[in-house]
């Protein structure tokens, strides 16, 4: 499978395992910038954009210079570390080693530092992981056009940053932005081209703190706030935004696809979408993938690809809405001919690129979907890092701006030219959608059901914990109150009895009975609380760990 998955959920689980022993709130020590080792210089006021290479619409990469060696690295907005293979001249070993997990395999080795240059910016002593052994990679990354990966995510998600002390492990873009004279310009932009599209004028480009000429009005697009994840998992912060309320995704029949969010704090009717250039295939909720492809005549679920297969001539319309703006997806991106897949009868098929999310499932309920390359080819994307630049001076919230690159009418013409030899068959009976009642559904595995269940509980642990505490406090208060009332009442009664000359009876009404009652209630209360929090975490923590690679 062409999906390079930055196993963010592995990190979530790591932080999760710490719940039992640590106070579950992370603290950001504000470490001062070490000016002796950090040197960032802008070499010209405007250095244009850098070209982005593309292998089979599945990998996008660019050249960086590390220790005087030019290295092609994959551009990954979904992770935050820099790693390369091969040798880096003049690199200094920090003596610290690290393993990063990806779907293609583990990137393991020592953390080194070397001078880094990119787009006219240079940084001394940039920390990176030198991967010594690529034998665990399932693919030959060099043949796919790259020899490493540069994470464009927030510094808080960097494993190298966490491994080295202070600022010395900051990721390359954090280093660049930390000393940017104009912190309001702490942004990157990304434009991905589409191979096999005769109508496209787009070339792959990447910029820092400036916009590709001709696309200036991206800065006029709505500023989509980056959704912050729970403090406790902020190392899992991604560039994630909310879809529009109730009509975030318009399906092939022109109707909104209604799916409820698994993110506890997502507003009603909205979904949390991560923009991740490291994923070839966008990962969406299973019911959404089914709504996109399940009504196509002849659609077939592929167990080996874990994706839908559809006839290549089938034009499928999908549109995303963000900030009140529509972003249509090019039909050449909704189903892809790049994978050489076939139906079970051997006939050629196209792959449904909006794949049901399963391995990339957000266990802590941090996001609903991951919009990878097949989505990102349709938008020119600007990411403003804002206050997620550590050690920077920008106090603004981070945001994303998207400029649509896909014209629906032109896209339909491209599709007809490429997929049906110029013959317009869009309205022919063979390509009509099946009625909603005949929609096919892809199978959900037992493991997936279990993960869904775990997510339901794990993502809501702060509420469950708070609920238990409130319950205990209320119950204890109630018992104390009852006890006081009873004592008062008894005291009154006793006083009245004494006044009337009657001696205390010494049976059921003894003063110790109520106290024993309240004691036994308190013991009962403590047990469910212990059971529901600590035991639960241990049990499920173990279970989920067993699944991580
Ligand atoms: C990277 O540099 C090599 C060597 O100069 C060049 O052939 C290649 O096209 C460059 N790649 C990109 C994406 O610019
Ligand atoms: C690389 O890793 C694999 C698997 O862990 C191991 O079998 C192999 O010996 C290693 N190769 C080198 C050169 O270290
Ligand atoms: C962007 O600017 C062009 C002209 O340069 C204009 O035609 C287009 O409508 C603008 N798009 C948006 C979304 O503002
Ligand atoms: C998809 O959208 C295009 C452009 O709006 C339209 O011409 C076409 O009829 C739509 N196709 C389907 C199958 O709905
Ligand atoms: C397009 C452009 O201006 N490129 C320059 C970026 O910065 C480097 C380093 O200063 C120059 O070598 C490039 O010519």
Neighbouring CB atoms inside 10 A of 106's CB total: 17
Q: How far is CA 462 from CA 211, 236, 457, in A?
A: 41, 17, 10
- The preferred substitution site among 217, 379, 403, 405 for testing ligand 3, maximizing ligand atoms within 8 Å of CB, is 217
102 forms beta bridges with 6, 105
pLDDT of residue 459: 75
Ligand 2 centroid distance, CA of 100 (Å): 16
Lining residues, ligand 2, CB within 6 Å: 133, 135-136
pLDDT of residue 498: 57
pLDDT of residue 466: 83
Q: Which of 77, 101, 357 is nearest to 237 (CA)?
A: 77
Q: What ligand 1 atom has the least distance to the C-alpha of 61?
A: 13
pLDDT of residue 105: 80
Neighbouring CB atoms inside 10 A of 428's CB total: 11
Q: What ligand 1 atom has the least distance to the C-alpha of 53?
A: 13
160 contacts 128 by C-beta, under 8 angstroms = yes
Whether the CA torsion 493, 494, 499, 503 is positive or negative: it is: positive
Q: Which of 183, 242, 189 is nearest to 219 (CA)?
A: 189
24 burial via Cβ count (<10 Å: 0-12, 13-18, 19+): middle
Ligand 3 centroid distance, CA of 209 (Å): 21
Q: Which of 408, 386, 383 is nearest to 397 (CA)?
A: 386
Tens of pLDDT, residue by residue, the chain (549 residues): 333 333 332 222 222 222 221 222 222 222 223 333 334 444 445 668 999 999 999 999 999 999 999 999 999 999 999 999 999 999 999 999 999 987 668 899 999 999 999 999 999 999 999 998 888 888 888 888 999 999 999 999 999 999 998 889 999 999 999 877 677 899 999 999 999 999 999 999 999 999 999 999 999 999 999 998 876 666 688 999 999 999 999 999 999 999 999 998 899 999 999 999 999 999 999 999 999 999 999 999 999 999 999 999 999 999 999 999 999 999 999 999 999 999 999 999 999 999 999 878 888 888 999 999 999 999 999 999 999 998 888 889 999 999 999 999 999 999 999 999 999 999 999 999 999 999 999 998 888 888 888 887 877 777 778 888 888 889 988 888 888 777 777 767 666 665 554 443 333 333 333 333 332 222 222 222 222 222 222 222 222 222 222
CATH tag, 31-179: 2.40.70.10
Does 44 contact ligand 5 (Cβ within 6 A)? yes
Half-sphere exposure of 134 (CA within 13 A, CB side): 18
Looking at all shown ligands, the one closest to residue 379's CA atom is 3
323 contacts 252 by C-beta, under 8 angstroms = no
CATH class of 223-459: mainly beta
**Angle at the Cα of 38 from the Cα atoms of 34 and 42, rounded to 5 degrees:** 140
pLDDT of residue 289: 98
237 burial via Cβ count (<10 Å: 0-12, 13-18, 19+): buried
Domain residue limits, the chain:
31-179, 223-459, 461-547
- The preferred substitution site among 105, 132, 135, 136 for testing ligand 2, maximizing ligand atoms within 8 Å of CB, is 135
Lining residues, ligand 4, CB within 6 Å: 315, 317, 408-409, 412, 426
């Amino acid at each position: 499978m062409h999906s390079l998955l930055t196993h963010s959920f592995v990190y979530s689980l790591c932080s999760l395992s710490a719940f039992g022993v640590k106070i579950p709130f992370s603290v950001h020590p504000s470490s001062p910038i070490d000016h002796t080792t950090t040197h960032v210089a802008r070499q010209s006021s405007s250095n244009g954009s850098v070209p982005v290479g593309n292998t089979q619409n599945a990998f996008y990469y660019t050249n960086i210079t590390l220790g005087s060696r030019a290295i092609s690295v994959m551009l990954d907005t979904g992770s935050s570390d820099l790693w390369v293979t091969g040798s880096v001249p003049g690199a200094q070993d920090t003596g610290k080693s690290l393993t990063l997990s990806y779907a293609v395999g583990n990137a393991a080795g020592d953390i080194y530092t070397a001078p880094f240059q990119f787009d006219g910016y240079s940084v001394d002593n940039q920390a990176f992981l030198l991967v010594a052994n690529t034998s665990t990679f399932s693919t030959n990354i060099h043949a796919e056009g790259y020899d490493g990966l540069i994470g464009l995510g927030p510094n808080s998600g960097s494993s190298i940053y966490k491994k080295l002390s202070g600022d010395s492990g900051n990721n390359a873009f954090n280093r660049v932005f930390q000393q940017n004279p104009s912190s309001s310009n702490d942004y990157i932009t990304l434009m991905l081209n589409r191979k096999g599209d005769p109508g496209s004028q787009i070339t792959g480009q990447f910029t820092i703190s400036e916009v590709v000429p001709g696309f200036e009005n991206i800065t006029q697009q709505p500023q989509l706030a980056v959704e912050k994840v729970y403090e406790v998992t902020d190392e899992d912060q991604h560039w994630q935004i909310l879809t529009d309320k109730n009509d975030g995704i318009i399906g092939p029949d022109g109707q909104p696809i209604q799916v409820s969010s698994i993110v506890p704090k997502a507003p009603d009717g909205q979904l949390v979408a991560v923009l991740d250039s490291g994923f070839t295939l966008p990962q969406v909720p299973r019911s959404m993938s089914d709504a996109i492809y399940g009504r196509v005549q002849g659609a077939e679920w592929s167990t080996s690809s874990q994706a839908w297969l559809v006839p290549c001539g089938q034009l499928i319309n999908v549109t995303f809405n963000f900030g009140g703006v529509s972003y249509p997806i090019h039909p050449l991106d909704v189903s892809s001919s790049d994978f050489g897949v076939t139906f079970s009868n051997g006939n050629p098929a196209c792959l449904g690129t909006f794949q049901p999310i399963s391995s990339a499932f957000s266990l802590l309920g941090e996001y609903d979907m991951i919009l990878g390359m097949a989505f990102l080819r349709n938008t020119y994307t600007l990411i403003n890092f804002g206050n997620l630049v550590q050690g920077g001076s920008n106090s603004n919230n981070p945001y994303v701006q998207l400029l649509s690159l896909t014209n629906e009418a032109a896209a339909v013409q491209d599709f007809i030219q490429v997929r049906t030899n110029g013959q317009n068959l869009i309205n022919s009976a063979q390509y009509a959608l099946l009625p909603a009642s005949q929609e096919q559904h892809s199978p959900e595995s037992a493991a997936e059901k279990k993960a869904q269940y775990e997510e339901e509980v794990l993502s809501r642990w702060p509420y469950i914990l708070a609920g238990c505490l409130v319950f205990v406090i209320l119950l204890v208060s109630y018992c104390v109150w009852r006890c006081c009332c009873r004592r008062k009442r008894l005291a009154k009664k006793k006083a009245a009895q004494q006044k009337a000359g009657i001696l205390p009876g010494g049976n059921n009404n003894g003063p110790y009975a109520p106290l024993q009652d309240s004691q036994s209630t308190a013991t009962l209360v403590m047990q469910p609380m212990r059971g529901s929090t600590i035991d639960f975490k241990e049990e499920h923590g173990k279970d989920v760990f067993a699944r991580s690679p």
